[in-house]
Amino acid sequence: MKTAYLDAFKKMVSIRAAEEEIAKYYLENKVMSFVHFYVGQEAVAVGVCDALSAEDRVMGNHRSHGHYLAKGGDLKRMVCELLGKAEGCCRGKGGSMHMIDKSVGFIGSTPILGSVVPLANGSAFEQRYSKRGGITAAFFGDGAFEEGVVYETLNLAALFKNPLLLVVENNLYSVNSKLRDRRSAEHEVERIVTGFGVRYMKADGLDYDDVHKKASELVKHIRSGKGPAVLECVTYRHMAHSAPIFDDAAGYREEDVLEKRLEKDSVKKVRNLLLSQGVSETELSKIEADARAHAVECVKYAAAAPLPDKKELFTDVYA
Amino acid sequence: MKTAYLDAFKKMVSIRAAEEEIAKYYLENKVMSFVHFYVGQEAVAVGVCDALSAEDRVMGNHRSHGHYLAKGGDLKRMVCELLGKAEGCCRGKGGSMHMIDKSVGFIGSTPILGSVVPLANGSAFEQRYSKRGGITAAFFGDGAFEEGVVYETLNLAALFKNPLLLVVENNLYSVNSKLRDRRSAEHEVERIVTGFGVRYMKADGLDYDDVHKKASELVKHIRSGKGPAVLECVTYRHMAHSAPIFDDAAGYREEDVLEKRLEKDSVKKVRNLLLSQGVSETELSKIEADARAHAVECVKYAAAAPLPDKKELFTDVYA
Amino acid sequence: MAERIIKYTEALKEATDQMMEIDPKVFVVGLGVSYKNGADGTTAGLKAKYPDRILDVPVSEAGLTSMAVGAAVTGLHPIVHHGRVEFALLASDGMFTQAAKWNYMFGGGNPVPIVIRINVGRQWGNGPQHTQALYSLFGGVPGLKVVIPSSPRMAKGLLVSALKENNPVIILEPRWLFNIKEDVPTEIFSEPLDKARVIREGKDITVVAYGDGLHSVREALELIGDAVSVELIDLVSINPVDHDTVARSVAKTGRLLTVDTTNEAFDIGSEIIAHVARNKSLKLKDAPIGLACPNVPVPTSTVLTEEYYPTKVTIANAILSALGKPSIDKKLSFEELHLAPTTTLK
Amino acid sequence: MAERIIKYTEALKEATDQMMEIDPKVFVVGLGVSYKNGADGTTAGLKAKYPDRILDVPVSEAGLTSMAVGAAVTGLHPIVHHGRVEFALLASDGMFTQAAKWNYMFGGGNPVPIVIRINVGRQWGNGPQHTQALYSLFGGVPGLKVVIPSSPRMAKGLLVSALKENNPVIILEPRWLFNIKEDVPTEIFSEPLDKARVIREGKDITVVAYGDGLHSVREALELIGDAVSVELIDLVSINPVDHDTVARSVAKTGRLLTVDTTNEAFDIGSEIIAHVARNKSLKLKDAPIGLACPNVPVPTSTVLTEEYYPTKVTIANAILSALGKPSIDKKLSFEELHLAPTTTLK
Ligand SMILES: Cc1ncc(C[n+]2csc(CCOP(=O)(O)OP(=O)(O)O)c2C)c(N)n1
Ligand SMILES: Cc1ncc(C[n+]2csc(CCOP(=O)(O)OP(=O)(O)O)c2C)c(N)n1
Ligand SMILES: [Mg+2]
Ligand SMILES: [Mg+2]
């Protein structure tokens, strides 16, 4: 068990370090590409991806650095993509909102809210149709969950019994809009989801263990051919919606104020767990330092990496 | 009470007679306009509209002859519209799928499935925003209920507490596609609807009384400012999806085979009720004969009515 | 070889069937495609033959189209069917923002082999919300290939090509042509997706048309007979547009007429004419001419649609007048104006 | 009167505020419109002033847009805000199939007074799925009025007109112009929705542009100085297109350049050039010229977008070369290429 948590800790810490280094780079340089940081939500990506196998597929949304890395995506290629470099995972054409590393089963992220849900359902359709086994997991937010196509997909996925895991990262906001300004007081996600014949569980998205256990249970359900499932993870986004800064001064946050975020921080939680299990502070610090060093190196690498050739503007419109 | 049923009977019979006469005309003439008959579903339109007041508004879908007439729409103008005549309720521009008679609060029907739901929500929004009182009811089918915009609207209407009554006419089919080919076995409309914080009731759509009572209860709920509601009415469509014929030979029907439809026919049910309440056969026959005569007259009128001027092709693109 | 005359819809069905036989990755999703006479006959009988690959679906255009896009991205080759452009518009995201951009936005190596079949345009009684074409939208989004089959043979050949193509192909099928018949090869054959076809050579004027409008031009040419030597081009593809074929013809004839069956604003004719006009090496004898529908929605009453679409008479007279010939005076019957043709092409 | 210099976004906010003051039927719905700096500042501060009329909404573009259409049909005058064309596409049904056709399909007497504001196009880092314009779609659907404000003054005047109009008006707002400043009258004033404006008279060549491209033309004219006498037309409306104003100008200058900031296939330039070409009474001295973006999606990396949009240099050189003048050799800075201009217009 301990090693499992150690592994999760490593992953979470390296996602955190990567984004912190990227944010630093953004603040110090003129980086011309959107960015939505995942800081705070790491337990969700890692908890879910740890419940998946190599042949399973993952898709994401505009905030997918964490999803990509948790599934094993290459950090250098990610940072290169953010900086518009030729070695970027989309050769610089996509930018931060378009993560992809098919070699590890991360098959794409799309920033049109809700769009990933039916697309992932198509991937799951393929897995069932081709009888290849494996499932597809899609990460998206509480805001995206308000798009009609999500409900169409719940129905379609249940009807076809596609092996689809929908992970709703409920970080309380769509940009700065609160849940209560977007849903009635009587709104109950569980009733809706199960009404479509789709299995539902809710997890503490700040608790790796809870996410991982519930994801594992749902993955088992899906693998057994019983159809799709939704895992709603309530979590906190630490940084601004779309900028390399902390935005507490903006004043929209209620529950998730800075001290609460720090207190309930998912990385800290796993760290404390490991300490309580007897892992030494030295070992943990070493993991942190390694992650940091790797992040620093990747950012440095990407900063120095070559730009794509201008002619690539014209390539790949068609396959 | 007796008079209430008599009135409902009159309305249901006149809708039935109108469509039967129109169907006859279609079969005998080359009528170049789509048509979707409502025959069989009359208890829903009349039961719901009887629960509304004059200032309430109604909208419909592609199958809205019954909705239009139940709200008091003019039959002559309706038949003229089907036949593309200048006196049609859309001056011939809309055809059968575009019913409107604003003088009685029937403010439009639209054949893009699901589209009427957010549009009616806009009308309800206006009623609340302008503090004018009144509610808006929208009729649509079980097929349209699969469009994503319906779920977006459930959420929006609940959030804004708009005075909206959504009437789902579940006639078991979308064209000839069965419910079980479109939804998982575990699908439960009630859970979904209430999950959005929207009140839900289910009625026997072949029973005027049941529809009317439940509609009245929901209308009361809505008028009291408690937000939107859904009334699902399970009913039978007697004729083909979109043709002036009976299509039992097509073989797709299961539960709603001809003899079952005749046995459970909603018009017959009210008739029998009235007979049991002591209304005489003579009186009922008189109502039927009057309705038939009116229908025959309206179809005749429309058949002879003038066509629009060709120049009208170019008018009314803009208001 | 003996002639084998089949309808436009049968040609589509045959292409689907034959390609499904050889390619297990192909499947069909769409409302009612599993019916005995599914999708206007274009999937008739296929459910029985391929029970797990002909899939009726809930009325969820966005969800089902993007599901198919996701399946294409992961290796299948879906055919999606939409009965009207207006229904397909609900799936705009999947078509225009996802499928069209997928390979590009992920830097290549991410093909989207999908075929989206959409019925468009003219049919009696459809009215304002069931008859749009929106060609300029389909033509203007890079990353899509968009064709309009003008005959049964083209319908089969283009659908086969679309199913061999590694990119998203949208096939816009004019309902007006569904009952047109033609001798169509029984075996699998392809028609190129991005080439216009000179289907009749001539020297006086180039006429560019597509789909249902092309059929009306064919009829117009019968009316005209030998009075004018017309070079007729079937545009075939509107994304990309094969401007070279048009330019070569116009270089020869010096005159250009485009025939559209959609509203005149931002129609295909404008795109063609603008390219010819910008081409410094082309010198026209006269200003090019565009025929199109008026810039109003399509009404329902037949008396109002009578003068909506260019007819064989208006087309013939546009050609005759361009060459200074006297015009034809012919009144079309109700059937000619409003009922889809059942011609057998030669 | 003293000058009052405000930004494009402030001009939009001011029009909204002033019209909301006098017309209780006006309300605003859109994602984040209630924020302190809502909708890029175009609704900043309005929530506090009109708490029940500035409405943040769930992420449900189709549902909220059609809700607004329904409210318009029943007598209100909504302003809907969409942050990107791609988000607005999810509301295609409400815009193109419902609002655009409502009055027509019900035979008149059914106006749809709604304003739909959509941010379009160019901005660094947006990438392939956040930067389309789809002008030909908006221009090609009868029943809509569609304008593209090219400056703060036009932004205010057109939004005021849109809110006095009894028809659906779509305002396509190029993000690229958001920080442009201009002297804008403080009082309520209208700019006509369907008229192109000759914003500079000239005799050698007519340049037709709109929105962000118009701004680049202004910059190009500064580069050119007096070398060429350019007549510059701000197209303003793409639905309908004011072809008469263009024709009058071209009749005078005999030369035409169109500048588009969207993919070249089915662009606005094609529609303009085709009308000029079809116009028998116009004789051009040279073939018309069209500048536009290449027919590929918009990539993210700045090195790839560098040559995507026509710049002041490419535009200046197109004009100079049309008149046989030597071209300018100027390299643009990173800022000029990628950062939205903050110019104050005179
Ligand atoms: C269809 C669509 N509408 C609007 C947007 C603009 N937008 C980008 S991110 C965002 C908030 C999304 O919230 P959520 O789905 O909860 O994800 P989070 O950002 O909280 O991770 C919005 C509104 C978009 N990208 N797509
Ligand atoms: C968006 C859209 N997709 C498809 C259609 C084609 N269509 C017309 S009626 C119909 C069946 C609708 O079923 P339902 O909503 O249950 O109404 P019913 O016909 O049973 O009354 C379909 C699929 C349409 N009109 N709109
Ligand atoms: Mg969120
Ligand atoms: Mg039904």
| Substitution candidate for ligand 2 out of B175, B177, B180, B189 with most atoms within 8 A of CB | B175
List C-alpha distances in Å: C292 to C136, C171, C267, D146. 13, 21, 8, 21
Asked whether B41 and B208 are in contact (CB, 8 A), the reply is: no
Predicted local distance difference test score (pLDDT) of residue B262: 96
**Is B3's pLDDT higher than 80?**
no
Q: Where are the beta strands (DSSP E) in B152-306?
A: 164-170, 173-174, 177-178, 199-204, 229-234
Can you tell me the mean pLDDT for D311-334? 96
B contact chains, 3+ CB pairs < 8 A: A, C, D
**Is B248's pLDDT higher than 80?**
yes
D166 DSSP assignment: S
- Give the residues across from B59 on adjacent strands: B138
Q: Which residue, judged by its Cα, is nearest atom 9 of ligand 2?
A: B175
- Could you give the angle at the alpha carbon of A84 between the alpha carbons of A79 and A85, nearest 5°? 75
The CA B170 to ligand 2 mean position distance, Å, reads 12
Residues sharing a CB contact under 8 Å with residue D212, sequence separation 6 or more, in sequence order: D121, D122, D174, D176, D177, D261, D309
Q: Is the CB of C83 under 6 A from ligand 2?
A: yes
State whether B313 and C294 contact (CB < 8 Å). yes
Chain D residues 258-317 within an 8 A CB cutoff of chain B: none
CB count in 10 Å sphere of residue C87? 23
D-chain residues near C96 (CB < 8 A)? 89, 132, 134
Residue D312 phi/psi, 5° resolution?
A: -60, -30
Percent of chain B with pLDDT over 90: 97
Can you tell me the mean pLDDT for D69-94? 98
Nearest Cβ partner for A177 among D32, D300, D302: D32
- Could you report how far apart the first and last alpha carbons of chain B are, in Å? 46
CA gap A150, B154 in Å, rounded: 14
Residue C316 phi/psi, 5° resolution?
A: -60, -45
A-chain residues near B158 (CB < 8 A)? 183-184, 186-187
State whether B155 and D67 contact (CB < 8 Å). no
Interval A120-174: pLDDT, tens: 999 999 999 999 999 999 999 999 999 999 999 999 999 999 999 999 999 999 9
Q: Is the CB of B174 under 6 A from ligand 2?
A: yes
User: Mean pLDDT across chain A, nearest whole number?
Assistant: 97
Predicted local distance difference test score (pLDDT) of residue B7: 97
Residues sharing a CB contact under 8 Å with residue A211, sequence separation 6 or more, in sequence order: A43, A44, A46, A47, A48, A203, A204, A205, A231, A233
Asked whether C216 and C46 are in contact (CB, 8 A), the reply is: no
pLDDT band at A31 (very low <50, low <70, confident <90, very high): confident
CA gap B107, C226 in Å, rounded: 55
Q: Is the CB of B142 under 6 A from ligand 2?
A: yes
Predicted local distance difference test score (pLDDT) of residue C1: 63
Amino acid (one-letter) located at C138: F
DSSP B111-128: -STTTHHHHHHHHHHHHH
**Is A1's pLDDT higher than 70?**
no
* Coil, strand or helix at A247: coil
Nearest C-alpha of chain A: how many angstroms from D24?
23
State whether A91 and C107 contact (CB < 8 Å). yes
Which tokens belong to D68?
């607004």
Residues sharing a CB contact under 8 Å with residue D302, sequence separation 6 or more, in sequence order: A32, A84, D124, D334, D337, D338
Can you tell me the mean pLDDT for A241-267? 96
Predicted local distance difference test score (pLDDT) of residue A177: 97
Predicted local distance difference test score (pLDDT) of residue D1: 64
Amino acid (one-letter) located at C13: K
C-alpha dihedral over C43, C48, C51, C56, to 10 degrees?
A: 40
Separation of CA D336 from chain center: 21
Predicted local distance difference test score (pLDDT) of residue D48: 97
Cα dihedral C2, C6, C8, C13 sign:
negative
CA gap A297, C187 in Å, rounded: 59
Nearest CA to D257 among D178, D202, D179?
D202
State whether D140 and C277 contact (CB < 8 Å). no
Q: Is the CB of B304 under 6 A from ligand 2?
A: no
Interval B284-313: pLDDT, tens: 999 999 999 999 999 999 999 999 999 999
**Is D341's pLDDT higher than 70?**
yes
Q: How many CA atoms lie within 13 A of B279 on its CB side?
A: 19
Measured between CB atoms, does B149 come within 8 Å of chain D?
yes
Amino acid (one-letter) located at A202: K
Nearest CA to A63 among A116, A103, A105?
A116
Whole-complex ipTM:
0.98
**Is B270's pLDDT higher than 60?**
yes
Measured between CB atoms, does B189 come within 8 Å of chain D?
no
Is C61 an annotated catalytic residue? yes
Interval A85-126: pLDDT, tens: 999 999 999 999 999 999 999 999 999 999 999 999 999 999
The CA D92 to ligand 1 mean position distance, Å, reads 19
Predicted local distance difference test score (pLDDT) of residue C125: 86
Measured between CB atoms, does C225 come within 8 Å of chain A?
no
Predicted local distance difference test score (pLDDT) of residue A294: 98
Predicted local distance difference test score (pLDDT) of residue A2: 65
pLDDT band at A40 (very low <50, low <70, confident <90, very high): very high
- Could you report how far apart the first and last alpha carbons of chain C are, in Å? 15
Residue B274 phi/psi, 5° resolution?
A: -65, -40
State whether B111 and C129 contact (CB < 8 Å). yes
- Could you give the angle at the alpha carbon of C102 between the alpha carbons of C99 and C104, nearest 5°? 130
CA gap D321, D325 in Å, rounded: 5
Nearest CA to D136 among D103, D172, D168?
D172
The CA B180 to ligand 4 mean position distance, Å, reads 13
Measured between CB atoms, does D112 come within 8 Å of chain B?
yes
Separation of CA D80 from chain center: 16
State whether C129 and B97 contact (CB < 8 Å). yes
Can you tell me the mean pLDDT for A55-66? 98
Asked whether A135 and A75 are in contact (CB, 8 A), the reply is: no
**Is A4's pLDDT higher than 90?**
no
State whether D75 and B130 contact (CB < 8 Å). yes
CA gap D332, D329 in Å, rounded: 10
Q: Is the CB of B141 under 6 A from ligand 2?
A: yes
- Could you give the angle at the alpha carbon of C328 between the alpha carbons of C326 and C329, nearest 5°? 125
Asked whether B80 and B53 are in contact (CB, 8 A), the reply is: no
- Determine the angle formed by the axes of helices A2-28 and A208-221, rounding to 10 degrees: 110
Predicted local distance difference test score (pLDDT) of residue A30: 81
B166 DSSP assignment: E
Beta strand D197-200 with D237-239: parallel, antiparallel or unpaired?
unpaired
A-chain residues near D305 (CB < 8 A)? 313
* pLDDT per residue as tens, chain C (346 positions): 689 999 999 999 999 999 999 999 999 999 999 999 999 999 999 999 999 999 999 999 999 999 999 999 999 999 999 999 999 999 999 999 999 999 999 999 999 999 999 999 888 888 999 999 999 999 999 999 999 999 999 999 999 999 999 999 999 999 999 999 999 999 999 999 999 999 999 999 999 999 999 999 999 999 999 989 999 999 999 999 999 999 999 999 999 999 999 999 999 999 999 999 999 999 999 999 999 999 999 999 999 999 999 999 999 999 999 999 999 999 999 999 999 999 999 8
Enumerate residues lining ligand 1, CB below 6 A. A 62-63, 111-113, 140-144, 171, 173-175, 237, 241; D 31, 59, 61, 83, 87, 90
A-chain residues near B150 (CB < 8 A)? 148, 151
Nearest Cβ partner for D296 among C104, C129, C137: C104
Asked whether C35 and C42 are in contact (CB, 8 A), the reply is: no
Interface-testing mutation among A115, A151, A183, A198, with chain B (most B C-beta atoms within 10 A): A151
Measured between CB atoms, does C342 come within 8 Å of chain B?
no
The CA B219 to ligand 3 mean position distance, Å, reads 35
Predicted local distance difference test score (pLDDT) of residue B2: 65
Interval D257-286: pLDDT, tens: 999 999 999 999 999 999 999 999 999 999
Interval B185-232: pLDDT, tens: 999 999 999 999 999 999 999 999 999 999 999 999 999 999 999 999
CA gap C130, D105 in Å, rounded: 11
CA gap A305, A84 in Å, rounded: 10
Strand order in the sheet with B136-141: B106-109, B57-60, B136-141, B164-170, B229-234, B199-204
**Is D237's pLDDT higher than 80?**
yes
State whether C103 and A119 contact (CB < 8 Å). no
Query: B154-192 burial string, b = 16+ CB within 10 Å, else e?
Result: bbbbbbbbbbbbbbbbbbbbbebbeeeebbbeebbbebb
D281 DSSP assignment: T
CB count in 10 Å sphere of residue D290? 24
Nearest C-alpha of chain D: how many angstroms from A226?
30
pLDDT band at B1 (very low <50, low <70, confident <90, very high): low
Percent of chain A with pLDDT over 70: 99
The CA A233 to ligand 3 mean position distance, Å, reads 11
Predicted local distance difference test score (pLDDT) of residue A39: 98
pLDDT band at B109 (very low <50, low <70, confident <90, very high): very high
